[in-house]
Structure 1
Amino acid sequence: MTRKYSNMNQHDALYKVARAYPGGLDALAARMQVSVNVLRNKLAPGIESHYPSFEELSQIVELCREAGVKDALLPLHALLGRHGMAAFIVPEPDHISDDDLSQTVCRVMSQVGGVAEAVSAALLDGVITNDEADLIEREFQGALTALGEWRARLRAHHRREDKLNNEKRELIKK
């Protein structure tokens, strides 16, 4: 029987992401400079005597993200979700474009619509399955990321406006 891994369980999510590293657990263990057997034991959901440390979790997420592993941040989202928290990616200031803020608002509303659609579809039969819960969680993460991007764009816009206003004030003083 094949085990179904949950995106909402931080142990399952970490194992799933680590296995998706290019070259699998063997390559990831080599990058981390640990034995593949030790890494496998720390990540395997059925082995309760070994767990990754916070540093190892962070390193796995970082290496998987650098390698372009899809959903590399999923273990962090699952861990935060377990504790009733959520996170979003904060865009680097260099990666915030000057596109129209109204376009960002449209993206946010589209993402929120995706959440509503996933919830609505899940509730049609009155039961939210594990797969539906995972999809809803993924949609929420997308919406939170869009909100985080909107926030960053608004802050960047404000900083630019503030800088221009300060420059104008300096010119007027002269």
Structure 2
Amino acid sequence: MTAFSFSAACFPGYGEKHVHADIARGMDVLDAAFLIAQETPGGVQALAHRMGVSPNTLQHKLNPNNVSHHLSLKEAVALQTVSGLPYVLYAMSAALDHVCLRSRPDVAEGDAWEAFRFLQQSMGELTAAAADALRGDGAVSANAHRRVEHQANELIAGVSALVNAVAARSPKREA
């Protein structure tokens, strides 16, 4: 079975106030890694302990002005995993003209009809959220904005689930 995932945006869940993408968008990846250390309670010491590395070495690797020590890709992933702050990921995606989306479970669990239904339901809910937000000439509230973002996220997850369900039913090509 061949499956793939498509990510199109970084939206927090409805009502959440995650700003990871906004903080890291357009930021240099080294600055993003440095920011993780600044925003993590306990700083470099805590991160190094959770990563199982030397605090002094990690401090050098996170210093944007240091040219002798470099954060490896695996260390960048570990740094983001233990901190819960995916700033490097967002900075990298922005630098490559991409956007990212937190992975979501397939609510259709591979059922093609359920995936199709979920997609249609999600489209309706996004349309309703956008219509409510745009009603009138006034400013859109932060809550209405988060609702639209959340419903867009649900729609993107629905598209991915539908494509995966259809792919699972496609005959496999012989190599």
Give TM class, smaller chain.
Answer: 0.5 to 0.7
Q: How does 1:30-41 map to 2 (within 5 A)?
A: 30-41=49-60
Q: CA deviation at 1:88?
A: 1.8
Separation of aligned partners in 1, 2:132 and 2:63: 37
- The residue that corresponds to 1:13 in the other structure is 32
Q: CA deviation at 1:148?
A: 4.4
The letter of the residue matching 2:70 is Y
The letter of the residue matching 1:92 is P
- The residue that corresponds to 2:46 in the other structure is 27
Separation of aligned partners in 2, 1:22 and 1:95: 38
The letter of the residue matching 1:10 is V
Separation of aligned partners in 2, 1:95 and 1:28: 37
Separation of aligned partners in 2, 1:46 and 1:147: 39
Q: How does 1:55-70 map to 2 (within 5 A)?
A: 55-65=74-84
Aligned-residue CA RMSD in angstroms? 3.8
1:151 correspondence with 2:156: yes
- The residue that corresponds to 2:105 in the other structure is 92
Q: Which TM-score applies when normalising by structure 1? A: 0.53
Alignment gaps of 5+ in structure 2? 1-22, 110-117, 134-138, 140-144, 166-175
Q: How does 1:120-159 map to 2 (within 5 A)?
A: 147-154=152-159, 156=161
Alignment gaps of 5+ in structure 1? 1-5, 66-71, 112-116, 118-138, 161-174
Q: CA deviation at 1:106?
A: 4.9
Separation of aligned partners in 2, 1:159 and 1:43: 39
- The residue that corresponds to 1:125 in the other structure is none
Relative to structure 1, the CA distance from residue 151 to residue 58 in structure 2 (aligned partners, 3 Å threshold; closer, same or farther) is same
Separation of aligned partners in 1, 2:132 and 2:57: 43
Q: Which is richer in helix?
A: 1
- The residue that corresponds to 2:65 in the other structure is 46
- The residue that corresponds to 2:15 in the other structure is none
Asked which structure has the greater RCO (Cα within 8 Å, sep 6+), the reply is 2
Q: Do the aligned residues in 1 keep the contact of 2:108 with 2:161 (CA within 8 Å)? A: no
Q: How many residues align?
A: 119
Q: How high is the sequence identity, in percent, across the aligned residues? A: 24
Q: Which TM-score applies when normalising by structure 2? A: 0.53
The letter of the residue matching 2:125 is Q
Q: CA deviation at 1:40?
A: 0.7
The letter of the residue matching 1:80 is S
- The residue that corresponds to 2:125 in the other structure is 103
